[in-house]
Amino acid sequence: MTHRIFITNRGEIAVRLIEACDRLGYDTVLGVSSADKDTLAARRAGRVLTLGGPRPSDSYLNMNAVVQAAISTGCTAVHPGYGFLSERPAFAELCAENGLTFIGPSPEALRVLGDKLTARRLAESVAVPVSAGGTAQTAEEVQQLAERIGYPVLIKAAHGGGGRGMKLVESTTELAEAWQLASSEAEASFGDGTVFLERFVQDAKHVEVQILGDRHGHRVHLGERECSVQYRYQKVVEEAPCTVLPEATRALLYQSALRIAEALDYVGLGTVEFLYDVQRDSLAFLEVNPRVQVEHPVTEAITGVDLVREQLLAALGEPLSFTQSDIALTGNAIECRITAQDPENELRPSPGTVTRWRPSAAGGLRLDTHIYEGYRFPPFYDALMAKQIAWAPDRAAAIKRMEQALAAFEIEGVTTSLPLLRKILAHPDFQDNTVTTHWLNELMTEKVNS
């Protein structure tokens, strides 16, 4: 059967999804906003349909418009990419009601994973380590919970991410106000003001496991990634594997991720995220992202597995073509997110027209992008321009290869994060892999204050 896939996304991931469909021989229809009708993805898709206006609520987040467009173009499945509708259980249900295959896990799994408190309880039920924490109803109960956990504590939104609704609390005098503020932010951002407390780990690494499951009960992991280089909870540089994990901890990491996948009867791609406390050599479950991740290329680089291809096949009912023992992790890979943001001004967006675009053509590199000379950034979306990926037999060689790639990259017309990425790669802390999740925040603060 020849499938026709409706892709409802934009930017580099839309290009990536079209390429995977092309390799499988699937037809593609791209749903775009009126601001994205002339993009690289629109040029490469088999057919393009305008969903609505440039604002995401009028196009990429308009569930009825997406489903109607998919049906009217004869599509059999919908791939939401990442962001937008990719984690909406209501959208997955709407696809099913209209005979469309949603490329992602079941609505039930999305619902469980969309609530961090429910996901946390699921992790605990299958003996996956979690941080001390929980939620409470009254101010007195919140105070008591924080004292049991021990300061500092982190307040987090149950239904959100990206740092919104998140507050670090150092002492009891700050707690009540921070709790109310976080809840208000969560309500405004995610439509649900539920928040909870977790122990704050000062020197933590962000590690995550790539999982993949099919509709026949098969589930595998494809190793881990480290994403500790973050600025205000936004990932900037990722790599695979995490070279500082002891083998026993790595084994626990994989076992924990697969326990959660088993508990959910998980189908498709997912990422199980953890914090690794370097000082205590301990793991704590964070959340599961039930979709393809921005940083998936580093896993592809060390496994040789086309994750988007496998995600498509699994969702369409094909059994996995390999087992856990077939997966070998080879070498090290690093990904740098190149964005139209100004490192001299706290990475504020820097929209404009790209007048020069000259990536490095050296070997061992991969570039996922939707940018070309003459591209003009619409003001409605994120600032991601490209993902530069470098692979080498070991981490030091991968860093060197990435440094050469970034040095040779020529971009003009917009201010980009390239200078910051070059600085990160050259920094002794990054080269020694002693960075933790707060390292880049501190580096940026030092620069501002110097």
DSSP class of 360: -
Element (H, E) at 282: strand 282-289
- Whole-number Å distance between alpha carbons of 398 and 364: 9
Catalytic residue among 225, 291, 337, 401: 291
Angle at 225 between CA 222 and CA 227, to 5 degrees: 160
Give which of 332, 304, 335, 433 is closest to 392, Cα–Cα: 332
φ and ψ of 331, to 5 deg: 75, -165
DSSP string, 380-410: TS--EEEEEEEEESSHHHHHHHHHHHHHH-E
Give me 61's structure tokens: 């987040």
The residue with tokens 């009960």 is: 217
What is the total residue count of the chain? Answer: 450
Bridge pairing between strands 27-33 and 4-8: parallel
The residue with tokens 């991601």 is: 384
Active site residue 250: no
The residue with tokens 């206006």 is: 53
Which own/partner pairs from 423-426 qualify as long-range (CB within 8 Å, at least 24 positions apart)?
424/229, 424/236, 424/237, 424/336, 425/237, 425/336, 425/399
Give me 206's structure tokens: 């962000």
- Whole-number Å distance between alpha carbons of 266 and 264: 5
DSSP3 helix / strand / coil % (the chain, rounded to 5): 40, 25, 35
Whether 156 contacts 189, CB under 8 Å: no
Whether 235 contacts 309, CB under 8 Å: no
Whether 112 contacts 118, CB under 8 Å: yes
- Whole-number Å distance between alpha carbons of 100 and 98: 6
Residues classed as catalytic: 291
